Amino acid sequence: MRVLQVIAGAEHGGAETFFGDFALAMHARAGELPAIQQKAVLRPYAERLERLVEAGISINALSFGSWLDFRTKHELQQIIQDFRPQIVQTWMNRATKFMPPRSATKQPYVHIGWLGGYYDLKYYQACDHVVVLTQDMYEHALRSNWPKERLHIVPPFAPDRPAAAINRAEFDTPDDAPLLLTLGRLHVKKAHDILIRAMADVPNAYLWIAGEGELRKQLTKLVEQLGLAERVKFLGWRQDREALLQTADLCVFPSRYEPFGVVTLEAWAQGCPLIVAASQGPKSVVTNGHDGLVVPVDDVAALVDAIRNVLSDTQLARRLVVNGRNTYDRQYSQEAVVKTYLELYQRLASMGSFSQAA
């Protein structure tokens, strides 16, 4: 089965990270049944390209520029004609928008749109099917009048890669200090400001912020204003997320808006206790008090209490880790999710495209 994966996302981001993990996971099944021949089309970000090329994945780099970028659509049309995919999966709005009309490609592929959030379904009208991540997104799509028979829930996964803890001295952090970790773009949606304010009331603890974005200067200024420069460290964008989670005592994910949040799965996979804010995705995935603690969005006091509880109660921390791992194994492991995708691809390819059926 020939599968074309198309993404036009940012250089850094959770969906973009998952795309890379997903492409690698599908490629790792080469030689197994059902056999998959995969090609990826993405923007020319060197780090992501190198990762896929090193694994042996066939790629094409396109610009996916402004609405005046006619070249990308033309080149994508040529790729489809040459590769002759049975499945084309476009990731999020921009990649889907750049798809050429199927009539122009003269290829009978099935087009699957991947929704990483609560997107406007008007961007997916040319798709035969749509994949969403959660039941709540499923309901969103139904409210937008997307046909139920062309809608599928498939969650993301986090790779269960073994990793060793890194040396805390690399970021001037004592070995015996409680260490918190948060992962994500430095964007207002991620609510790093709430976590930084909470750190003022969690003395002796350190915080590592792994991410990059437009709020770097603003958040750095907040840290300095609160006198936390010694205990709050900005690590920049990191590729060693598993190692960071192995190093930390607690993962905190305080997002104001989060359609899913793969960080949740990464913490469970690496055995790191987890606290999340009750934004859309995390509150639908995490069971409060069972596999994580869930606090109200933008509530500094509640976040402080949750952090203190986990750091002071080793039994609670252990329970969150054990139950988190069980949830991960049952629903969000790489093996389980890839199997679901392969079954979906096979079923949809056998049905043919919506335009053909029509």
Which is higher by pLDDT, 230 or 47? Answer: 230
Asked whether the predicted pLDDT for residue 184 surpasses 60, the reply is: yes
| Interval 317-353: pLDDT, tens | 999 999 999 999 999 999 999 999 999 999 999 987 7
286 in a structural domain: yes
193 in a structural domain: yes
Shared domain check, 193 and 124 = no
Cα distances (Å, whole numbers) of residue 290 to 156, 181, 197, 251, 315:
21, 20, 26, 15, 12
Please tell me the least confidently modeled range out of 11-20, 137-146, 196-205, 258-267.
11-20
Shared domain check, 134 and 52 = yes
| Interval 57-105: pLDDT, tens | 999 999 999 878 889 999 999 999 999 999 999 999 999 999 999 889 9
Which residue, 21, 86, 4, is CA-closest to 347?
A: 86
> What's the predicted TM-score (pTM) here?
0.88
Shared domain check, 308 and 185 = yes
116 in a structural domain: yes
Average pLDDT over residues 271-291: 96
Which residue, 229, 192, 232, is CA-closest to 213?
A: 192
Shared domain check, 349 and 270 = no
Residue range(s) defining the domain that contains residue 19: 2-157+333-357
205 in a structural domain: yes
Which is higher by pLDDT, 58 or 358? Answer: 58
pLDDT at 173: 98
108 in a structural domain: yes
Shared domain check, 343 and 319 = no
Q: Which CATH number do you get for residue 74? A: 3.40.50.2000
**CA–CA dist 285, 9 (Å, integer):** 24
Shared domain check, 104 and 128 = yes
Shared domain check, 312 and 172 = yes
SS3 content of the chain, % helix, strand, coil (to 5): 45, 15, 35
- For residue 31, what pLDDT band results from cuts at 50, 70 and 90? low
Residues making up the chain, counted from first to last: 358
Cα distances (Å, whole numbers) of residue 79 to 8, 9, 105, 358:
15, 19, 9, 25
Please tell me the least confidently modeled range out of 112-116, 294-298, 349-353.
349-353
- For residue 157, what pLDDT band results from cuts at 50, 70 and 90? very high
Count other C-beta atoms under 10 Å from residue 271's C-beta.
15
**CA–CA dist 283, 303 (Å, integer):** 15
Shared domain check, 274 and 353 = no
Shared domain check, 142 and 54 = yes
pLDDT at 33: 62
Most confident among 160-164, 175-179, 236-240, 354-358 (mean pLDDT): 175-179
133 in a structural domain: yes
338 in a structural domain: yes
Asked whether the predicted pLDDT for residue 358 surpasses 50, the reply is: no
Shared domain check, 209 and 76 = no
| Interval 129-154: pLDDT, tens | 999 999 999 999 999 999 999 999 99
| Interval 235-252: pLDDT, tens | 999 989 999 999 999 999
Shared domain check, 222 and 135 = no
162 in a structural domain: no
Asked whether the predicted pLDDT for residue 32 surpasses 90, the reply is: no
Domain count, the chain: 2
pLDDT at 28: 87
pLDDT at 357: 43
Shared domain check, 264 and 190 = yes
